[in-house]
Structures are given as structure tokens and as C-alpha cells.
């Protein structure tokens, strides 16, 4: 089993990714760290606690992290994930409480198992940046960081050239990308290859009346309505579940080494990925750090894994 820490901002696709991870025997979930992102920190934390209680996994600690980005104010995505971040799903208030500080949890969890821990980050990278600032070099002590974020050349989803997680905290994204850690990056170009058709989900849920099935049907409603309007077909992309999938079966994605950095301050471009594609450099160095960037997804393979694990 691979020890993992999920750094999340649930949010519907984070919740689906969490359920997939909980149902994957290959992963030993050491804990969850929550951050502001899709929802304010209190809500992302409550949602993480609620989803763990839904599947009877209150043994997994949930630690609260950053309530705002390193610089500037927090922004959220109510229009995508619904008023409380889990679409139309209504889960009981959690009985469990947060277990502590996310930054210390990340540092202690990684230090306890040097070179073993995979951190799957599917929200703004504020917690990871703060952990690196508090204990320089800690991210490089991970086995791998699997990060959902950024957009290479396609249109962004929060501004013309930026993706939500990197736009929400561009300084943190830049610090994590430049930390020297072993990074697998899932940009929008990869996440957008994964489309969960509403008919397929409904077919897999048909006849099921259990709480998990009811949650999945209700939670996906808001995102599917939003993306159906945006893309003209019934369904949704699976950004964050792909990050969990990649931590289980790396072969699900064809990856390509790329030198990337993140623009932290541009008035129109803060959070934009800067990819250094120069075939040669003169008198300077390639910009940014090398990451393994997901470029092609085994879509049928992933969808089968996702639905099998989600709806176990």
C-alpha cells in the first residue's frame, strides 16, 4: 500500500476523488488536509468530514489548512459546486472534528516516512507552499506530488489563460513547482480528456438506493448542469479523480517532461503556466523546473477504474 495525503478543497470533484481513494486498496490514506478553494476553508473541511462519515472512515484525520492564498483574498466556485460545495447532496453534520493543523500534519506525515508519501493535491497549493516555507526541502522528501492544476495552451477555466487552482494562489503554485519536488502535473488539457457522461453514471446508479449512490447522484447534479450548459452535452469532467487515478496506476497517463514555471503577478495572467519549449538556451537557463506533465489519458481504462472504485 502506498501512503498518501490528499490535499483537497471539496468541491464535488474533490469529493469524488476522495471516495475513489477510500475505495482503493492500493492506497493507505494517512490523512486529509483541507484548504480554501472551491469553498471557504470551514466548508471544505466540513465537506471532507461529511464524506468520510458517509463511507464510515472517520479513522482518517482531517487537518485544516489555509483560509486564504499567500497573497490577496480567497475566491470560490459556488456556481460550479453549489452553495455548500457538494452540489445538491445533503449529508448530516459531521460528528468528527478537525484533527489539527494541516501544515504540521504534512510536515510530520512526510518526515515520518521519508521518500514514501505521495501527496495528491487537488486544490490551491497554499498548504504545500506553507509546509515548504516552514520546513525547507520537505516536499522533496515526498515520493511524489501529484498535482491537478494549470493549463498549458487551451483556454483557461477561470480566466483566458489560467486554471482555478493555480489562479487561486499563484504564488503558492510557483513555490511548489520550484521546490525541486518530484512532481506529476495534471493540467486542464489532460483533465478535459475525461468526460463522465451523465447517462453512463445514471446507468451505473440504476436500481441503487444506498446512501453512497444517492450522494453521487445528488452531488454531481450541480456540476453536470453547469458543464452541460458550457459544453452542450450532459456530463462533467473528472479533474480531481484523475489525480487519484494517477497515484494508483501511473500508467493511466502518458507523461512528458516539461520545464514549467508559474506567473505570480501578471494583471491578466497571474497563475498562468509558463512552459519553456526552447530547443536551446543561450547565456541563461531553462525557465522553471522540470515536471512530468500528463499529456494523454487512457480514458476507457480510467473511467472503468473510477466508476468501479467510486461505486464499490
**Residue 31 near ligand RIB by CB under 6 A:** no
DSSP, res 162: B
The binder of ligand RIB chosen from 35, 43, 45, 122 (CB under 6 A): 122
Minimum separation from the CB atom of position 167 to ligand RIB (A): 8
Output phi, psi for 81, to 5 deg: -105, -5
The binder of ligand RIB chosen from 148, 181, 196, 244 (CB under 6 A): 148
**Stretch near ligand RIB under the rule CB under 6 A, chosen from 161-169, 197-205, 214-222, 300-308:** 161-169
Q: What's the Cα-to-Cα distance from 224 to each of 12, 16, 79, 80, 197, rounded to whole Å?
A: 10, 13, 11, 9, 9
**Residue 226 near ligand RIB by CB under 6 A:** no
Q: Which is nearer to ligand RIB, 73 or 283 (CB)?
A: 73
Residue ranges in contact with Ca ion by CB under 5 A: 9, 11, 14, 122-123, 240
**Residue 169 near ligand RIB by CB under 6 A:** no
CA distance 16 to 220: 9
CA distance 271 to 261: 9
| CA neighbor of 101 nearest in space, from 69, 75, 127, 138 | 127
CA distance 148 to 151: 10
Pairing relationship of beta strands 27-34 and 62-64 according to DSSP bridges: parallel
**Residue 37 near ligand RIB by CB under 6 A:** yes
Half-sphere exposure of 88 toward its Cβ, with a 13 Å CA cutoff? 11
**Residue 65 near ligand RIB by CB under 6 A:** no
Minimum separation from the CB atom of position 309 to Ca ion (A): 18
Q: Which is nearer to Ca ion, 9 or 259 (CB)?
A: 9
- For ligand RIB, the nearest residue by Cβ is 164
Q: Which is nearer to Ca ion, 120 or 138 (CB)?
A: 120
Three cell numbers written together for 213: 449512490
Does residue 23 carry a catalytic annotation?
A: no
**Catalytic annotation, residues:** 239
Amino acid at each position: 500500500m502506498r501512503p498518501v495525503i490528499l490535499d483537497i478543497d471539496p468541491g464535488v470533484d474533490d469529493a469524488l476523488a476522495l471516495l475513489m481513494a477510500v475505495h482503493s486498496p492500493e492506497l493507505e490514506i494517512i490523512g486529509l488536509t483541507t484548504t480554501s478553494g472551491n469553498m471557504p476553508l470551514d466548508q471544505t473541511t466540513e465537506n471532507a468530514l461529511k464524506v468520510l462519515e458517509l463511507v464510515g472512515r472517520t479513522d482518517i484525520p482531517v487537518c485544516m489548512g489555509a483560509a486564504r492564498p499567500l497573497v490577496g483574498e480567497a475566491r470560490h466556485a459556488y456556481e460550479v459546486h453549489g452553495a455548500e460545495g457538494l452540489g445538491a447532496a445533503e449529508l448530516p453534520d459531521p460528528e468528527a472534528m478537525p484533527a489539527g493543523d494541516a501544515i504540521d500534519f504534512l510536515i510530520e506525515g512526510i518526515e515520518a516516512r521519508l521518500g514514501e508519501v505521495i501527496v495528491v493535491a487537488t486544490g490551491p497549493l497554499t498548504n504545500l507552499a506553507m509546509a515548504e516555507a516552514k520546513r525547507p526541502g520537505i516536499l522533496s522528501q515526498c515520493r511524489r506530488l501529484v498535482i491537478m492544476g494549470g493549463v498549458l495552451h487551451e483556454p483557461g477555466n477561470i480566466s483566458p489563460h489560467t486554471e482555478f487552482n493555480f489562479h487561486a494562489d499563484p504564488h503558492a503554485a510557483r513555490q511548489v513547482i520550484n521546490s525541486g519536488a518530484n512532481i506529476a502535473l495534471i493540467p486542464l488539457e489532460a483533465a478535459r480528456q475525461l468526460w463522465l457522461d451523465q447517462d453512463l453514471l445514471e446507468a451505473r446508479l440504476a436500481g441503487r438506493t444506498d446512501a453512497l449512490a444517492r450522494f453521487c447522484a445528488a452531488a454531481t447534479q450541480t456540476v453536470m448542469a453547469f458543464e452541460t450548459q458550457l459544453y452542450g452535452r450532459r456530463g462533467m469532467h473528472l479533474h480531481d479523480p484523475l489525480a487519484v487515478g494517477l497515484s494508483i496506476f501511473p500508467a493511466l497517463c502518458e507523461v512528458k517532461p516539461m520545464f514549467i514555471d508559474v506567473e505570480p503577478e501578471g494583471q491578466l495572467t497571474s497563475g498562468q503556466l509558463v512552459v519553456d519549449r526552447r530547443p536551446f538556451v543561450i547565456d541563461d537557463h531553462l525557465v522553471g523546473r522540470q515536471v512530468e506533465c500528463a499529456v494523454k489519458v487512457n480514458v476507457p481504462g480510467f473511467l472503468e477504474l473510477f466508476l468501479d472504485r467510486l461505486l464499490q
